[in-house]
Amino acid sequence: MTQPMNGIYTPNITPIDARGRVDEDKLCGYVDWLIERGVHGLYPNGSTGEFTRFTAPERRRIIEVLCQHVAGRVPILAGAAEANVRETIEACETYGAMGVRAVAIVAPFYYKLGPEAVYQYFKEIADHVSVDVTLYNIPMFASPIDVATVRRLAIDCPRVVGIKDSSGDIPHMMRMIAAVRPLRNDFSFLTGWDAALAPMFMIGCNGGTNATSGVVPELTRAIYEASTRGQWDRAMQLQYRLLPLFDAMISQPEFPEGFRRGALTRGWDLGQSRQPLSPEQIASAQQTQRQLSQILSELSQWLPEIAPAHEPEQPSGQVQLSSAPSDDFIDNIVREVMRQLQ
């Protein structure tokens, strides 16, 4: 029986150089920085890594580079979704041979499929691969994976070892855990919704695949560690400090541009996405970057290790507003939440 995947797996951004190519040297430097700051694993070729904006050979090269460079320091959960079953199976086998811990496969996208079709899709893949498979539920972009389907796959397919759920739906996650964990305690439940990271740990998730961990790995690890120790007051205090940062990055319309800007505030210029941006969109992203610098500057008063690379600049004539809630405000909220849970 395999061990569950525990901890924070960072869905790392893919660096792009000035000529629009994958910047392999910067990719290696960036993941070194993430590992040094305590992430438990890496999740390349995910949504934050913009897998649909790269060619199949580029996706394979990204995994190859990371497997060689990481050299077992942390496990790799490789995004292996392709546009059809045959190519997805080929990608799974290729990544398995490279030494990844498991592959993550998003439910069928473009065509909206029902539960039976989703089940058959994943079963066909799981029956023909030699690497562990993690389901990826992101209903805003792909066919949803319901609780009954997860349970069937957990029973029928030993290769299916977990699910990454990015719906942010806490009751849905609770129902999945209740339906599957009594049958398979090796099955991993990973949350992809950063706004509810601590609450997801509270209900029993093993870990998270969280885009904010690519910007503030110290903070997401601190939430995980507080949760594993049962220090729920501290976990929720940290969660409330993470929330404004996540909201600012996810609200940038051209996902994951907000997270690229977040990385830039930490000193990592990972280039511009392959999605073309207008001057107005670039200006909006720059405004988000200034907001993120301000949030990080305020957070660094509480966690000095996450200070921005440069102090935030305020446009002339603009009134500076606090982006993060005060300590007293957060403490009052946490006390009330914990009181109601008791």
Other beta carbons less than 10 A from residue 308's beta carbon: 21
Q: 3-class SS at 73?
A: coil
> For the whole model, what pTM was predicted?
0.89
Q: What is the helix (H) or strand (E) element at residue 33, kind and residue range?
A: helix 24-36
- Which pLDDT score is estimated for 64? 98
Give residue 336's pLDDT band: very low, low, confident or very high (50, 70, 90). Answer: low
The string of pLDDT tens digits covering residues 269-292 is 999 999 999 999 999 999 999 999
- The alpha carbon of 233 is separated from its chain's Cα centroid by a whole number of angstroms, namely 24
Mean pLDDT (the chain) is: 91
Whether residue 295 is predicted with pLDDT greater than 80 in this model: the reply is yes
Helix residue ranges, H only, 215-326:
217-228, 232-250, 257-265, 279-299
Q: Which residues are CB-neighbours of 287 under 8 A, at least 6 positions away? A: none
Q: In whole angstroms, what is the distance from residue 22 CA to residue 32 CA?
A: 17
- Which pLDDT score is estimated for 299? 87
Other beta carbons less than 10 A from residue 241's beta carbon: 23
Q: What is the helix (H) or strand (E) element at residue 190, kind and residue range?
A: strand 188-191
The string of pLDDT tens digits covering residues 206-223 is 999 999 999 999 999 999
Mean pLDDT of 190-218: 97
- Which pLDDT score is estimated for 319? 29
- Which pLDDT score is estimated for 94? 98
Alpha-carbon separation of residue 188 from 66, 92, 135, 208 (angstroms): 23, 19, 10, 10
Give the DSSP letter string of 36-71. Answer: HTT-SEE--SSTTTTGGGS-HHHHHHHHHHHHHHHT
Which residue has better confidence, 272 or 69? 69
The string of pLDDT tens digits covering residues 14-61 is 999 999 999 999 999 999 999 999 999 999 999 999 999 999 999 999
- Which pLDDT score is estimated for 315? 37
Whether residue 316 is predicted with pLDDT greater than 70 in this model: the reply is no
In the chain, the domains with their CATH numbers are 7-341 (3.20.20.70)
